[in-house]
Amino acid sequence: MTIAVGDKLPDVKIVKATAEGPEAVQSAEYFKGKKVALFSVPGAFTPTCSAKHLPGYVEKAADLKAKGIDEVACTAVNDPFVMKAWGAANGSSDVTMLADGNGDLAEALGLTMDGSGFGLGKRGQRFSMVVNDGVVEQLFVEAPGDFKVSSAEHMLENL
Protein backbone atom coordinates (compact mmCIF):
# COMPACT_ATOMS: atom_id res chain seq x y z
CA MET A 1 0.00 0.00 0.00
CA THR A 2 1.31 3.44 -0.93
CA ILE A 3 1.57 6.15 1.71
CA ALA A 4 -1.08 8.88 1.40
CA VAL A 5 -1.68 12.40 2.64
CA GLY A 6 -2.69 12.21 6.30
CA ASP A 7 -0.71 9.02 6.96
CA LYS A 8 2.00 8.81 9.59
CA LEU A 9 5.39 7.88 8.15
CA PRO A 10 6.51 4.33 8.90
CA ASP A 11 9.28 4.01 11.46
CA VAL A 12 12.38 2.55 9.80
CA LYS A 13 16.13 3.03 10.11
CA ILE A 14 17.66 5.61 7.80
CA VAL A 15 21.19 6.96 7.83
CA LYS A 16 22.15 10.62 7.79
CA ALA A 17 25.28 11.31 5.79
CA THR A 18 27.17 13.76 7.99
CA ALA A 19 30.64 15.32 7.95
CA GLU A 20 31.48 13.11 10.93
CA GLY A 21 30.33 9.96 9.13
CA PRO A 22 27.13 7.92 8.93
CA GLU A 23 24.57 8.54 11.67
CA ALA A 24 21.80 5.93 11.96
CA VAL A 25 18.44 7.38 13.00
CA GLN A 26 14.90 6.11 13.17
CA SER A 27 12.60 7.94 10.79
CA ALA A 28 10.05 8.56 13.57
CA GLU A 29 12.69 10.40 15.57
CA TYR A 30 14.13 12.26 12.59
CA PHE A 31 10.76 13.69 11.45
CA LYS A 32 9.43 14.36 14.98
CA GLY A 33 8.58 17.95 15.82
CA LYS A 34 9.56 19.58 12.52
CA LYS A 35 8.25 20.28 9.05
CA VAL A 36 10.42 18.59 6.43
CA ALA A 37 10.45 18.90 2.66
CA LEU A 38 11.55 15.38 1.70
CA PHE A 39 12.37 14.39 -1.84
CA SER A 40 13.42 11.04 -3.22
CA VAL A 41 15.60 10.33 -6.24
CA PRO A 42 16.24 6.98 -7.95
CA GLY A 43 19.97 7.36 -7.43
CA ALA A 44 22.78 9.71 -6.50
CA PHE A 45 24.93 10.85 -9.43
CA THR A 46 22.29 9.81 -11.98
CA PRO A 47 21.58 12.31 -14.80
CA THR A 48 18.23 13.93 -13.91
CA CYS A 49 18.89 13.66 -10.18
CA SER A 50 22.24 15.48 -10.47
CA ALA A 51 21.31 17.97 -13.18
CA LYS A 52 17.86 19.02 -11.95
CA HIS A 53 16.40 17.41 -8.84
CA LEU A 54 19.04 18.02 -6.16
CA PRO A 55 20.17 21.39 -7.63
CA GLY A 56 16.57 22.64 -7.58
CA TYR A 57 16.24 21.96 -3.87
CA VAL A 58 19.67 23.45 -3.17
CA GLU A 59 18.65 26.60 -5.05
CA LYS A 60 15.20 26.84 -3.42
CA ALA A 61 16.08 25.75 0.14
CA ALA A 62 15.88 29.30 1.53
CA ASP A 63 12.56 29.90 -0.25
CA LEU A 64 11.15 26.67 1.18
CA LYS A 65 12.30 27.64 4.67
CA ALA A 66 10.73 31.08 4.24
CA LYS A 67 7.40 29.25 3.67
CA GLY A 68 7.63 27.28 6.92
CA ILE A 69 9.85 24.32 6.07
CA ASP A 70 12.30 23.57 8.89
CA GLU A 71 14.52 21.17 6.97
CA VAL A 72 15.03 20.00 3.39
CA ALA A 73 16.07 16.36 3.01
CA CYS A 74 16.97 14.11 0.09
CA THR A 75 16.71 10.34 0.19
CA ALA A 76 17.85 7.62 -2.21
CA VAL A 77 18.47 3.91 -2.15
CA ASN A 78 22.22 4.45 -1.88
CA ASP A 79 24.69 3.96 0.93
CA PRO A 80 25.58 6.87 3.22
CA PHE A 81 29.08 7.22 1.74
CA VAL A 82 27.66 7.75 -1.76
CA MET A 83 25.05 10.17 -0.40
CA LYS A 84 27.76 12.13 1.43
CA ALA A 85 29.93 12.31 -1.71
CA TRP A 86 26.96 13.35 -3.84
CA GLY A 87 25.99 16.02 -1.33
CA ALA A 88 29.56 17.32 -1.29
CA ALA A 89 29.72 17.37 -5.09
CA ASN A 90 26.26 18.76 -5.90
CA GLY A 91 24.47 19.71 -2.70
CA SER A 92 24.82 22.13 0.15
CA SER A 93 24.54 22.21 3.91
CA ASP A 94 20.93 23.31 3.33
CA VAL A 95 19.94 19.79 2.21
CA THR A 96 20.25 16.81 4.56
CA MET A 97 21.27 13.63 2.75
CA LEU A 98 19.42 10.53 4.00
CA ALA A 99 20.66 7.14 2.85
CA ASP A 100 18.07 4.41 2.45
CA GLY A 101 20.72 1.82 1.63
CA ASN A 102 18.51 -1.25 1.92
CA GLY A 103 15.43 0.45 0.50
CA ASP A 104 13.55 0.01 3.77
CA LEU A 105 12.01 3.50 3.69
CA ALA A 106 11.02 3.28 0.01
CA GLU A 107 9.50 -0.16 0.63
CA ALA A 108 7.63 0.94 3.76
CA LEU A 109 6.24 3.95 1.87
CA GLY A 110 5.11 1.71 -0.99
CA LEU A 111 7.13 3.88 -3.36
CA THR A 112 9.63 1.51 -4.94
CA MET A 113 10.50 1.02 -8.59
CA ASP A 114 12.35 -1.68 -10.47
CA GLY A 115 15.43 -0.24 -12.16
CA SER A 116 16.81 -3.67 -13.09
CA GLY A 117 16.62 -2.85 -16.77
CA PHE A 118 19.27 -0.19 -16.16
CA GLY A 119 21.31 -2.29 -13.73
CA LEU A 120 19.98 -0.36 -10.72
CA GLY A 121 17.89 -3.02 -8.99
CA LYS A 122 15.06 -1.98 -6.68
CA ARG A 123 15.07 1.77 -5.97
CA GLY A 124 12.85 4.48 -4.56
CA GLN A 125 10.53 6.26 -6.96
CA ARG A 126 11.02 9.94 -7.70
CA PHE A 127 8.71 11.83 -5.33
CA SER A 128 8.50 14.70 -2.89
CA MET A 129 6.44 15.23 0.22
CA VAL A 130 5.93 17.64 3.06
CA VAL A 131 6.10 15.82 6.38
CA ASN A 132 4.89 17.70 9.45
CA ASP A 133 5.75 16.05 12.78
CA GLY A 134 5.86 12.65 11.08
CA VAL A 135 2.60 13.02 9.14
CA VAL A 136 2.41 13.43 5.36
CA GLU A 137 0.78 16.79 4.54
CA GLN A 138 1.51 16.82 0.81
CA LEU A 139 2.67 14.08 -1.56
CA PHE A 140 3.79 14.35 -5.18
CA VAL A 141 4.75 11.12 -6.97
CA GLU A 142 6.18 11.24 -10.47
CA ALA A 143 4.97 9.09 -13.35
CA PRO A 144 7.77 6.79 -14.58
CA GLY A 145 10.40 8.80 -16.43
CA ASP A 146 8.91 12.20 -15.50
CA PHE A 147 10.38 15.08 -13.54
CA LYS A 148 7.66 17.63 -12.83
CA VAL A 149 5.66 17.29 -9.63
CA SER A 150 8.57 16.34 -7.35
CA SER A 151 10.59 19.46 -8.18
CA ALA A 152 11.38 22.17 -5.66
CA GLU A 153 9.48 24.66 -7.83
CA HIS A 154 6.32 22.54 -7.74
CA MET A 155 6.61 22.13 -3.98
CA LEU A 156 7.01 25.89 -3.52
CA GLU A 157 3.90 26.53 -5.64
CA ASN A 158 1.93 24.20 -3.36
CA LEU A 159 3.04 25.51 0.02
* CATH number of the domain within which 17 lies: 3.40.30.10
Q: What is the pLDDT of residues 92-127, one digit of tens each?
A: 889 999 999 999 999 999 999 777 677 676 889 999
What band does 67 get if pLDDT is binned at 50, 70 and 90?
A: very high
- Helix, strand, coil shares of the chain, percent, nearest 5, are 35, 30, 35
Does a structural domain hold residue 93?
yes
Average pLDDT over the chain, rounded to an integer? 93
Q: Is 74 a catalytic residue?
A: no
Beta bridge partners of 22: 17
d(Cα 12, Cα 101) in Å, to the nearest integer? Answer: 12
Number of structural domains the chain divides into: 1
Q: Which residue range(s) make up the domain with 23? A: 13-158
In this structure, is residue 2 part of a structural domain? Answer: no
Q: Which of helix, strand or coil describes residue 154? A: helix
Q: Which of 36, 44, 49, 97 is catalytic?
A: 49
pLDDT at 140 over 90: yes
Lowest mean pLDDT among 77-86, 106-115, 144-153: 106-115
d(CA 51, CA 114): 22
148: three-class secondary structure by DSSP: coil
Tell me how far apart the alpha carbons of residues 58 and 55 are, in angstroms, rounded to a whole number: 5
Q: Categorise residue 83: left if φ over 0, alpha if ψ from -120 to 50, beta otherwise.
A: alpha
The three-state secondary structure class of 117 is helix
- Rounded to an integer, the average pLDDT of 78-93 is 90
Could you tell me if residue 47 is inside a domain? yes
Q: Is residue 71 part of a domain?
A: yes
Q: Side chain identity at 12, as an amino acid letter? A: V
What is the per-residue pLDDT for 76? 95
